[in-house]
Structure 1
Amino acid sequence: MTVAVTGASGQLGRLTVEALLREGATPVAVVRDASKVADLAERGVEVREASYDDPAALDRAFAGVDRVLLVSGNEFGSRVTQHTNVIRAAERAGVELLAYTSIPNTERNELILAQEHRGTEAVLDEASVPVVRLRNDWYWENYLNALGSAVESGVFYGAAGEGRVAGASRADYAEAAAKVLTTDGHGGRSYELGGAGLTYAELAQAISEASGKPVRYQDLPQADYAAALVRNGVPAGYAAALADADAGIAQGILDIDSADLEKLLGREARSAVEVFRAALS
């Protein structure tokens, strides 16, 4: 089983390559810059250079592969076009399965961050190869940038109210992707992937447990939270998207009721406490 992983130099892509190796598959790491995965090449992983903007390079990258994981890109505003390039290259290669990392509740998800996923899934709906949608909920790692200040100040800030977010670790999403890519029966499926839902107050408790220091949650209005992110160096557009995501969490959009991740893993997902404790150590 040869599986091409796009964005393999990124955090999720690299972890998926590692998980595929554990599953006994033959991963092909597709990256823009081969030097960023030199360590994988030294371990025998085939590395092929291609960007999402280069159809010819994508054709070369997918030559002879059985399956493809399209890890969603991070160039906001260009992602539907870029993802379409990958989908078309997978079609030309005649792969037997194309997996895409999406976002939960895509059909009704109004988050800013969901719109390009919805556009990509519309392209997938018309694809000529079997596809599977891996609708990953929030990564617990998304909160690591705020971890240090929360521990130091004793306050974890957000704009999520009492809403819950069904997060999981990036490694668990990668392992689930590897399971899907190395087993059969997934074509046409949409997996809503996430762990146990936590409120932000409970996330503050998880930070406290991981650090051994008291941390409480302070809820802010959406606009105030976005402004606070900007003051702390987050670009304005991304700050607005993060605050919008918190507002969506307050409305329950990321509190999925699904056991898909646990079923794929064959175990419970790692807790937020485990992820935070590992980061702090």
Structure 2
Amino acid sequence: MPKLEDLIELALAAGREIMAVRAAGFDTQTKLDGSPVTLADQRAEAVIESGLAKLAPGVPMIGEEAVEDGRIPECGARFFCVDPLDGTRGFAKGGDEFTVNIALIEHGEAIMGVIYAPATGELYAGDPGHAVKAQCDIATATLATPLTPIQAAPRPAQWRLVASELSGRNPETEDFRTSVNAGALVHASSSIKFCRVAEGAADLYPRFGNVSEWDAAAGHAILSAAGGGIIRLDGSPLRYGTNPGDFLVRGFVAYSNEDAKAAALKALR
């Protein structure tokens, strides 16, 4: 099996592809579900798929673009879950909030994950009991600072919420914020929201709306390594690959600690 450092290197390589496409210019197409896709998505996923095949021969990969193309392998007890470019909509508009997400799933649990933001150089990674972050050189997509341990925050005086820039501006999210008596809501795009909870900058990340498993898996692994976790809106743990062919997550709440989880469960009742 690959080590966390192997997945970090693969995420950085995918980031180089994305930034090369951005520098050269690209067109945006629309997939059947109405979401955008670019050459950067496709090239980044190709780099990741090829790299994982060498690192872990025979372990299947569930990738966003592969699934769109109808290439859906049997997940089995162990598989990789990949979003090569999370935040394509913002990327296509010239924004900087997009990430490369790579996760390893074992028996339904996200146990290893990497999130890399090529335009800002932020890198987060985690495996059991070991969550880290680093700053990367944007031009070369190489580590510019050492990997530094991170940990989700203990209970604060008032809960701090982060939510999606688009889907987080809805009545359900505002009702949740009110129910947990949280402060002002901070909005962000892409999977960096999970990292904000993992590094102690936020305590809860509610998502009322559908996402795909590859949108959450890497962040889930990092957050779990930092002491937090994710529950579905019915309070059950979020697991992966349990519904063959259906990779939709119908909402969730990411939390920093058991107190935050309890507050989320109370608000969801």
Give the TM interval when normalised to the shorter protein: under 0.3
The TM-score with structure 2 as length reference comes to 0.27
- Looking at secondary structure, tell me which structure has more helix per residue: 1
Which structure exhibits the higher relative contact order, with contacts defined as CA atoms closer than 8 Å and separated by 6 or more residues?
1
- Looking at secondary structure, tell me which structure has more strand per residue: 2
The TM-score with structure 1 as length reference comes to 0.26
Query: Which structure is larger by alpha-carbon Rg, 1 or 2?
Result: 1
